Every structure is written in C-alpha cells, then in structure tokens.
Amino acid sequence: MVYGKWTGLEGTFPGQIPGSDIKMWSKEHFTFVGQFKLDTALLDNYGGGTYTLDGNRYQENVIYHANKPSVGSKPKMLLEIRNDSLIQKYPTNENWELVGEYSIEIYKRLK
C-alpha cells in the first residue's frame, strides 16, 4: 500500500539536481511539494493529481504542477516498496520498460 506520507527524496536525476520533496498519497490522489537548487537559484517544486497503481505499474494524471507544461501529462513509472522505502523509476514506454537515461527517486516513509 502506497497511502501515507513519504519524504527524504534521494535520487539520481539527469544533471544531479540537489533538493528534496515530500510526497503524499491517498486512495486516489497524490501530491508533492519541495525545493531544488539549480546553479544558484532555488526552485519550488509542487504538483498533484490522481493516480492508478496495478502491481508495480504506477501512472499519474497530473492536474497541477509548478512546471505548467507538465499539467495534463500522464507519466508512467515503475514503483517498488521495500520496508520503509518507496522507489520510483521513470520514464517507461508503453510496455512499462525503462527507457533512455531514466530517473530513480527514493522516498522514506514518515511515521
């Protein structure tokens, strides 16, 4: 079950952008908020919407996002929960296979 609050984002991103997020899920919705540093600028990061989860196949329907072109997108990810860690890997293609230089985000469950 993914419901709950997760924080302490760690991950590998193209360009290794430092920062952190907190991400929360309810039965049908997700939301996240955080801040990242790009060169000397601090960038707010937020978004949310609905999601579906089928096994490890996770897809978001982005309703709002700090990066306006992301609104309306439906990113597909592979999701795994190991003990108190939630791991998201993306992007995937239509067959749910990771493609290109993909990102890995690791969240820790908040108690």
Residue-wise pLDDT for 77-91, tens only, equals 999 999 988 999 999
* Eight-state DSSP code of residue 62: E
pLDDT tens-digit map of 41-72: 888 989 999 999 999 999 999 999 999 999 99
Q: How many domains does the chain have?
A: 1
What is the domain-level CATH number for residue 47? Answer: 2.40.128.490
Range of the domain at 26: 4-109
Q: Does 2 have pLDDT greater than 90?
A: no
The two tokens of residue 7 are: 């924080």
Q: Does pLDDT of 99 surpass 70?
A: yes
Reply yes or no: is the peptide bond before residue 75 cis, omega within 30 of 0: no
Using CA atoms, how far apart are residues 62 and 65, in angstroms rounded to an integer? Answer: 7
Mean pLDDT of 100-111: 86
Name the more confident of 10 and 81: 81
Q: What percent of the chain has pLDDT over 70?
A: 86
Give me the pLDDT at residue 43, please: 87
**How confident is the model at residue 59, as a pLDDT?**
97
Q: Are 50 and 63 in contact (CB under 8 A)?
A: yes
